[in-house]
Chains A and B, each alone.
Chain A
Amino acid sequence: MLKRVHFKHPVLPYLLVAPQLAVTLIFFIWPAAQALWQSMLVQDAFGLGTQFVWFQNYLELWGDPQYLNSIKVTAIFTISVTALGIGSGLFLATMADRVIRFASGYRTLLITPYAVAPAVAGVLWLFLFNPTVGILAYLMQGMGIAWNPLVNGEDAMIMVIIAAAWKQVSYNFVFFLAGLQSIPRSLIEAAAIDGAGPFRRFWTVIFPLLSPTTFFLMVVNLVYAFFETFATIHATTSGGPSNATNIMVYKVYKDGFVGLDLGSSAAQSVVLMFIVIALTVVQFRYVERRVEYGT
């Protein structure tokens, strides 16, 4: 970690880390500690006094059907976004790795959605799926499918999953393509000589060799779907209709910022904090180790 040849200086290194450390302490660690503290407080009805209640806020969450619903919604949402994003990213990258014509054109265009903000992606799809003006809604109505994400919870969920995954496909595509290009040609040639067709080569050679990338992307996509999709939800469904897309991050915001139930919102924050910590630990412990072709 430290260079063998290095400097010694009584103040300079502290000055160099000071800005980063100041921001970290003031805007990250202190608020996180505050969240922990607030999660054990209850405010009285008039907001005049607070009472220390240990883990009561957490216990109440467990009995709260709204919260349990939000966990379920989050699970469906994150798993779908991750699966759809990784699946399509891998599929497109495999195809892009094969072709020679237009290769760079495909690449440039497929990468661009990464630049689109999650909220903007949400609005684009909201427009396409909007029952009065959306072209996709129009086509579906033409096919006799009743479609209205503004009132139907399932439709709303499908819409936000597509909007969230659409943006993330680019990210996965970049990593899979880089992964595919780093696989030695000789391995694939050897498999081809042994008589394996393209399909078989993919499942027995290429896919196992991509497993470190896939695993890394799974963690990153889960983090994305858990947290960054706040914007997608806020800009499109606001958690509705009737809480059908009220993912956990959105609920923290709504309960705390709109509902002003600080104790409960803080407790929910802390639950989320544990989820990120768990995901980060998984990422650093296992991704570093490079899950490779486990037979």
Chain B
Amino acid sequence: MKPVPFEYVAVKSVNEAITALEKYGDNTVIIAGGQSLMQEMNLRQARPSCLVDINGITDLDYIEETGDAIKIGALTRHRTVEKSEIVKRNCPLLQEAVTHIAHFQIRNRGTIGGSLRQNPPGAEYGVVARVLNAQFVIAGPDGKRVLSGEEFFVSHFKTAVKQNEIIVEIIFPKLTKDTGYGFLEVTRRHGHIPIVSAAATLQLNEDDTVKDAQVALGNVSPQGVPYKVQSVSQLIGKPFTQEILDQLANDIKNEVNPDPEADAKAGYTLQLSRIMGRRVSEISSAEYRKEASSVLSIRALQKAYQQIKGTFQ
């Protein structure tokens, strides 16, 4: 369990990082918290020729509040997000989601940018980013660009971030005070990578009909990206009743389309002695994930509803 030889460059600024990424060639990758990359390197599943260590770019470690958004620097640790008063006040859904990331020891090290860049199936930030329409600020040799979630996530373990680019910031819109939210996962054990993850937000009109409802799911799309549920829009304008939720549950089951074959293809890779190893933690059947998608979506919406009504326990 030792990595192949690699070069190592420690950088102090975003510009230095970009320069290093360009200088050391295609097989150069960024290391931030290292909570996935180090393991993959030790298993020889990942064999980068050069690591650019961005832990020295301390000005990428921040959480800031603007008028209608919070901005999180890409090097911010999960634990910092989890403990942040700004996040708690303005985007409690994100805070709730972060508590689901692995164990606190891992959250102390892992970074928001690293998790998003890796895009492993079901990962919490991606699901929240999709449900809230977060934006991703990416820096490269030609300056900065801003991507939506739809543009950012490409496929299993793949994003639109180019080899010579670095994520610098993620912008989450604030949740309004009247927004209910819920985040749920099915995991085989405490802190483990989810089989399915779900985030929901809900707003009600004064007459208790649904003003807005959003649901995003992790690990259910055949492309391996966080998935924004379409059929939830049917709630809008209608009262939040069991009957309509039952209908929605059914529709979500039909809407989502997990592809175990695509997952398996992305999920296996050669390691030591050319023995195949797995990168994806839970390859469950499509049937199960459809079922879980539906259950978690409804529960997350119900949780959001109870929050609005003050009945959430």
The yes or no verdict on A and B being binding partners is no
